[in-house]
Amino acid sequence: MRLTVNGRTHDLNVDPDTPLLWVIREQIGLTGTKYGCGVAQCGACSVHVDGEVVRSCSLPVSAFGPDQKIVTIEGLSAGAVHPIQQAWIALDVPQCGYCQSGQIMAAAALLAKTPKPNDEQIAEAMQNICRCGTYNRIKAGIKQAAGIAG
Amino acid sequence: MNFSTGTSRRRFLAGSAAAVGGFSLGFHIPAGDAAAQTPARPEINAWVVIRPDETVVIRVARIDMGQGTVTGLAQLVAEELECDWAKVTTEYPTPGQNLARNRVWGNFQTAGSQGIRQSQDYVRKGGAAARMMLIEAAAQSWKVPASECRVAAGVITHTPSGRSTTYGKVADAAAKLDPPKDIVLKDPKSWTIAGRPLPRLDTADKVDGRKVFGIDLVLPGMVNAAIKACPVFGGKLRGFDPASVAGRSGVKKVVAVGDNAVAVIADTWWHAQSALDALRIDWDEGPNARSSSATTAAMLREGLTAKEVFVGNQAGDPDAALAAAAKTVEATYSVPHQHHATMEPMNATARWSGGLDKVEVWCPTQNGESALATAAAASGLPPQQCEVYRIDLGGGFGRRATSHDYVRQAVLIAKEMPGVPVKLIWSREEDMLHGWYHPVTMCKLTGGLDAQGNLTALKMRISGQSILAGVNPNALQNGRDPITFQGLNPSGTEGRLGYAIPNLLIDHAMRNPPVPPGFWRGVNNNQNAVYLECFIDELAHAAGQDPLAFRRRMLGGSPKHLAVLDAVAERAGWSKPAPAGTFRGIAQHMGYGSYVAACAEISMTSSGQVKIHRIIAATDCGHVVNPQQVAAQIEGSFAYGLSAMLMQEITIKDGRVEQENFDTYPCLLLQDMPAVESIIMPSGDFWGGVGEPTIFVAAPAVLNAIFAATGKRIRDLPLKNHDLRKA
Ligand code: FES
Ligand code: FES
């Protein structure tokens, strides 16, 4: 089985039912993508597949082909220069940080499609749980990255 | 002053060089003998290491779980040290080092909003002592009096001659000096590093996936474990059928863990968990298999009128005053069990070095010393032969403070695999089913008003679970759990009832259902504030008075309680009506040494949904070390507290928790989060906490606003169980 993650191809010998999340974490060794629920409820495991946000805990690795571009938090940018990452640093968005890979991947996908999202669009796209409660800074971070005032 | 860093320093350098090696990653990666060869770096004292390249390493005994304590404590040390903040980095000493060095770092406990307030004095003195030693070393090298030298940003200057040097250059010499005896701390008014909204030190690693949580740890040769404990509280493992997972890929071993759990050890965690899900397990469900939320409720209801109780606060003769009252009001409230649901599930990695009789544990913990004690107890080894390497937590909220069940399990499993590191991860389901839950309580309140609408008497009967009875029965005082009365106490600096009520009785009928209770962010303040602040609102309406004015009349003797209440009322424009269609509620409380108040503004949708627009929150926490992190804690506490108030409850059926994941235990999302306006108003003569206090007032402020909007009093949480559509 072959996967393309962050621009690199990986030849893997895994059970086809293994969720993409655990292939990313345990086979490829990229641990920035987190396990939070395993049932597509929390968003901690969010990655991009061909630009779409996917909750990687709930899809088997067999659902993905070698031509699909999988991007994890480690591959979002080189040197954390994505505007979302920069805004996150500027505003000290993370508290514990555990949910933040997923939050950042969801926010980056939102801006890729909707460069100037309004409040409803932000709320609709950001369905990830943050138990530390960083939501208001997440919202401010998205606006800052999008260049939207307030 | 008994701050003696010098003797312990010498003992440390002489006796435990091996222990120094693993500091710099924040946790220890085993490196065999390499660690023993790592040279000791110039440790000025327990809190401060200065490297030759001028890097200032500040040691932090408490831990970060998102609340910013590490940055705050570093600011306090750096303030007194007068170092260059841009060169500051931090590291965690281990509990084993603390043990070996006679607890030179003091308490590791990071709970009860105490990380900063209960260590600020000695860590500041650690910074100041290091500064004095560094200056002294420079002065000695120049053969001038230290009083002629000054320091700024780690550069020491001899003022008369203009000579200068740096901390990095004199660190070795300073490390050999005796610590100073008399240390004078700066007046907080002159702070330049502490008290400022500096960015956190630990953000960069959290935006690109680099940060390693306990769940992410990878050690050479490591295997993974998944576990199931009997889902019924108090039940046992009767047996399991290894044949049911025989031949499954990656599985190495299936082992009983203690008397109530079974674990699968495999090459990957996914293999371990999927084999565990297929494993046939036979549980002995034990004596609680019939217990339920209904049996608990019946037990608590009986307690509402029980005769044998523990008294928390009393004054005057409330029964006589109630009999003489012009009007009496009575109401019963309840708050269910809730779960911490840290984003990162419980996990710990352990290695049992069979030949050496040594146990090492890597884990997220709010109290490394308690984790070490757990590892020692589980292994049967003395604590000196155990070590715990602390890793930042993916959320704590009290779950990882007192109960290191996951550490105990990891050690027991590692014992089955001598020499091999084993990482144990709980599935979310396991995490939900085996929490230490926010205690369940009910409360019956009776108030008496005189003809002028003054509150002349209040009786408050709390019936329900004691946390101490569950986690630390030795701390009970003749059976009484003093923590039950948080925020309701007659006196003290931790959580005093602000209202002057001439005839008062607050008591507790302890009723402990077979569900483990725990400290949950805010702890008993949460329900106590809901009970009292919503009932005070009821009394105000019964007296025909404005809820703010009614409270203010009883707070004359509590100026700090009153000040935060007034601050939110003023910001909200309480004296003017709320904008059309919006409704306000107000609440105040004191806990963990801080005074807090909130005013919530809500509206109702036509389908009976509450929309929380804005919460104004005031806190007087005495001193503020990093205002932007205090603001983050206020917002975070609201998200946590409102999640519980709006939608969360743990229910029990057949002795087990019914909610196994976030689909049945939902959390507040970005779309539900109100705007939060923080008023941080430190009055300067005490040190209060900030991680928890504001959580107390979020729920009662919103509930009082819901009453203002709908005329309905929500007395049983969570709100999701109520229909607020107009009849
Ligand atoms: S871990 Fe995938 S959504 Fe929670
Ligand atoms: S930052 Fe801790 S869960 Fe979001």
In this structure, how many other beta carbons lie within 10 angstroms of the beta carbon of residue B218?
Answer: 14
Same domain, B181 and B298: no
- Residue bearing tokens 């001899």: B158
| The predicted structure's pLDDT at residue B274 | 98
Q: At a CB cut-off of 8 Å and minimum separation 6, what does B54 contact?
A: B84, B87, B154, B166, B167, B168
Domain end, chosen from B206, B228, B252, is at: B206
Cα–ligand 1 centroid distance for A39 (angstroms): 6
| The predicted structure's pLDDT at residue B356 | 74
| Residue B727 maps to a domain | no
Mean pLDDT of B104-120: 84
| Residue B37 maps to a domain | no
CA–CA distance, B238 with A131 (Å, rounded to integer): 36
| The predicted structure's pLDDT at residue A94 | 98
Same domain, A40 and A88: no
CA B471 distance to own-chain centroid: 15
Domain end, chosen from B206, B232, B253, is at: B206
Q: Which of B213, B345, B636 sits opposite A132 (nearest CB)?
A: B636
Q: How many residues does chain B have?
A: 727
Same domain, A49 and A89: no
| Residue B330 maps to a domain | yes
Which amino acid type is present at position B322?
Answer: L
| The predicted structure's pLDDT at residue B24 | 32
Angle among Cα B380, B381, B387 to the nearest 5 degrees reads 125
Same domain, A117 and A64: no
Which residues in chain A show pLDDT less than 50? Answer: none
- Tell me if A51 CB under 6 Å of ligand 2: no
Q: What's the pLDDT tens digit per position in B328-340?
A: 999 999 999 999 9
Q: In the 8-state DSSP scheme, what is residue B715?
A: -
Report whether B400 contacts B426 (CB < 8 A). Answer: no
Share of chain B above pLDDT 70, in %: 94
Same domain, A49 and A14: yes
Same domain, B185 and B255: no
CATH (domain of A18): 3.10.20.30
Closest Cα partner for A106 from A47, A59, A22? A47
Q: Which residue has the higher pLDDT, B702 or B62?
A: B702
Q: At a CB cut-off of 8 Å and minimum separation 6, what does A109 contact?
A: A48, A51, A52, A53, A125
Q: What's the pLDDT tens digit per position in B175-197?
A: 999 999 999 999 999 999 999 99
Cα B486 to Cα B345, B472, B496: the distances in Å are: 29, 17, 8
Same domain, B414 and B465: no
pLDDT surpasses 70 at B12: no
| Residue B526 maps to a domain | yes
Strand partners, B254: B264
Same domain, B562 and B703: yes
Flag whether residue B546 sits within 8 Å of chain A, measured between CB atoms: no
CA–CA distance, A29 with A136 (Å, rounded to integer): 32
Give A104's Cβ-side CA count (13 Å radius): 33
**How many beta-carbon pairs under 8 angstroms link A with B?**
179
Strand partners, A4: A9, A69
B645 burial class (0-12, 13-18, 19+ CB within 10 angstroms)? buried
Same domain, A71 and A32: yes
Same domain, B93 and B129: yes
CATH (domain of B134): 3.30.365.10
- End-to-end CA gap in chain B: 67
pLDDT surpasses 90 at B158: yes
Cα–ligand 1 centroid distance for A27 (angstroms): 18
Domain of residue B323, residue span: 293-338+437-721
pLDDT surpasses 70 at B9: no
Same domain, B277 and B394: yes
- Tell me if A97 CB under 6 Å of ligand 2: yes
Q: What are the two backbone dihedrals, phi and then psi, of residue B373, each rounded to the nearest 5 degrees?
A: -60, -40
Q: In the structure, what pLDDT confidence band is assigned to residue B112 with cuts at 50, 70 and 90?
A: confident
Mean pLDDT of B526-536: 98
Cα–ligand 1 centroid distance for B246 (angstroms): 29
Q: What's the pLDDT tens digit per position in B589-636?
A: 999 999 999 999 999 999 999 999 999 999 999 999 999 999 999 999
Same domain, B581 and B497: yes
Same domain, A36 and A99: no
Buried b / exposed e along B389-411 (16+ C-beta atoms within 10 A): bbbbbbbbbbbbbbbbbbbbbbb
Shortest-distance ligand to the CA of residue A43: 1
Same domain, A19 and A42: yes
Mean pLDDT of B18-39: 36
* Beta carbons of A98 and B208 less than 8 Å apart: no
Closest Cα partner for B706 from B694, B724, B718? B724
- Tell me if A99 CB under 6 Å of ligand 1: no
Same domain, B318 and B457: yes
- Using CA coordinates, name the residue in chain B closest to A22: B270
Same domain, B104 and B227: no
| Residue B491 maps to a domain | yes
Closest Cα partner for B23 from B52, B60, B53, B54? B60
Domain count, chain B: 3
Q: Which of B199, B270, B394 sits opposite A98 (nearest CB)?
A: B394
| The predicted structure's pLDDT at residue A150 | 67
Closest Cα partner for B634 from B727, B522, B518, B538? B522
Q: Would residue B170 be called left, alpha or beta, if left means φ above 0 and alpha means ψ between -120 and 50 degrees?
A: alpha
Same domain, A111 and A136: yes
Same domain, A26 and A70: yes
pLDDT surpasses 80 at B26: no
Domain end, chosen from B185, B206, B227, is at: B206
Domain count, chain A: 2
| The predicted structure's pLDDT at residue B727 | 65
Mean pLDDT of B347-354: 94
Shortest-distance ligand to the CA of residue B663: 1
- Using CA coordinates, name the residue in chain B closest to A43: B343
| Residue B6 maps to a domain | no
Helix, strand, coil percentages (3-state) for chain A, rounded to 5, are: 40, 15, 45
Q: How many residues does chain A have?
A: 150
CA–CA distance, A67 with B627 (Å, rounded to integer): 48
- Lowest pLDDT segment from B57-61, B428-432, B536-540: B57-61
- DSSP helix/strand/coil, B429: helix
Q: In the structure, what pLDDT confidence band is assigned to residue B116 with cuts at 50, 70 and 90?
A: confident
Same domain, A6 and A71: yes
Same domain, B164 and B174: yes
Give, for ligand 2, the residue of A89, A132, A137, A138 to mutate: max count of ligand atoms closer than 8 Å to Cβ. Answer: A132
Same domain, A13 and A71: yes
pLDDT surpasses 50 at B35: no
Q: Hey, CA dihedral for B239, B243, B249, B252, is it positive or negative?
A: positive
| Residue B155 maps to a domain | yes
Give B332's Cβ-side CA count (13 Å radius): 10
Which amino acid type is present at position B603?
Answer: S
CA–CA distance, B342 with B453 (Å, rounded to integer): 45
Cα A85 to Cα A5, A100, A144, B670: the distances in Å are: 20, 10, 11, 18
Q: What is the mean pLDDT of chain B?
A: 92
Domain of residue A130, residue span: 83-146
Q: What's the pLDDT tens digit per position in B289-312?
A: 999 999 999 999 999 999 999 999
Q: What's the pLDDT tens digit per position in B80-103?
A: 999 999 999 999 999 999 999 999
CA–CA distance, A26 with A6 (Å, rounded to integer): 16
Domain end, chosen from A75, A98, A126, is at: A75
Same domain, B443 and B420: no
| The predicted structure's pLDDT at residue B22 | 30
Same domain, B278 and B144: no
Q: What's the pLDDT tens digit per position in B119-133?
A: 888 888 899 999 999
| The predicted structure's pLDDT at residue B120 | 85
Same domain, A92 and A61: no
ipTM: 0.98
